[in-house]
Structure 1
Amino acid sequence: MALAARVIPCLDVAAGRVVKGVNFQNLRDMGDPVELAAHYALQGADEITFLDVTATVDARATTYDIVQRTAEHVFVPLTVGGGVREVEDVARLLGVGADKVGVNSAAIARPALIGEIADRFGAQVLVLSLDVKRSAATPSGFAVTTHGGRTETSLDALAWAREAIERGAGELLVNSIDADGTKDGFDLELVRLMREVSSVPVIASGGAGDVSHFAPAIDAGADAVLAASVFHTGQLTVGDVKAALKASGLTIREVAPGDRGGVR
């Protein structure tokens, strides 16, 4: 039986609030993260991802509090990323209720961090976040970027994904900078290429703008689909996306009658 396709709302958090912009610019307040997390859990979200988009010391302390308060009320897996620079950051996030932790820039700066985290906590805890942009300067045509897509590195995205998996990454969160904010759909070529090189689950991110965009990403090889603004604005619900996936013949996790979506 095929594994259920996961639907993951993403909460970009700054100064204790959920925000949304394009490439972290012109951020707009979208609400309280704990309330939104509970709202999406009730809709049937399979997981929830928090990304600390400022990642200063003060913001990181705020994120710990948000994760702890969310974990007390919402019983779906929580992934937290942004500003994770060392193994002890991971330990503290897991200690306040995170189930998985995302790393990006720190792993690019010091790839050995991936193995250190995986050795201590297990590969299943570690999500490698890749902000990917099309580039003629790399063999695959895709490069890894930092700073929300504004700084292109010399790393080939596919080669970096393979290396990170070898070092212990348990999952890939692949965000297309080119598609992000366009609402024209996921970058299906990028998803297909990542699927070809990845032996671990792939989460497709960037570009969701319509309910019809999600099934093609799963068909292209994603194990999960992640979106933010279409959920925050109420344009779509998690249930809408799951219904569309099911109508396309894909397996989803059903929320049983009377199940409150993992919310206390």
Structure 2
Amino acid sequence: MTKRVLVILSEFGYWGEELVGPLSAFDERGYDVVFATPTGKQPHALPPSMDPDYVDPPLGRSVTTPEVAKLTRDLDESGRLANPLNLSAWAPERPYTSSPDYLRRLESYHRAVAKLEAELVPYDAVLIVGGSGPIVDLANNERVHEIVLAFARAGKPVAAECYGVACLAFARDWEDRKSIIWGKRVTGHCKEYDYKDGTGFLGVPDFNMGPPPYPLEYILRDATGPEGRYIGNFGRETSVIVDFPFVTGRSTPDSFLTGQKIVEVLEGGLRRFGW
């Protein structure tokens, strides 16, 4: 049976290789790939991720080959991403406690969660693509959290790259408020690779946030708890961690390996890698 993967993308810019890397692995295996964004708008790649001459400040070199730049540009212009699913119309959001008829709204929310879980049955895995965009509209998006929680409860792979891994740190069961990655091994954008200046987003002209608004490494260290572990692998060319059901990739250079490991989880029963 053909595998189906849900790929969640930011509307404020994704890093090209972090999509085309895994997507190449999925396409090679003939997977059915369904894209989704927070409000159903077409996602686009961040311009530096399509520029092989762009020098990544922390690494002091280009991180985009001409081949990957072309793959990203071709995908961006292909129309394949033109009609993503609208998460705001699909996944529920928990009501404010102060809402009128809160109890009725909460009951409705739980019915919507059950409906979402039923609609996710045909999907075999979910991937959250990284880049700076997820900082804005994915990391603290409760609808994204509901999807992550639903896949984890179903025992299906949950994958994320770079700043997309923040979604896993913030996805929490409402009762105990512990991160879903508590006790797990994960990787993600390490402190040494954070920009000191120049963090930008699509759709926000001339806006330079400077450094990222939060150091992802610190969040992941706290979210995994004393029995889990953040693994940055700073100084190593790649960092991909599989601690089932989670598959996490540190940053851009890990994208193709992330896709490969997702395939191995789905087809080969891989449950542990990189630690």
| Bigger strand share | 1
Structure with the greater alpha carbon radius of gyration? 2
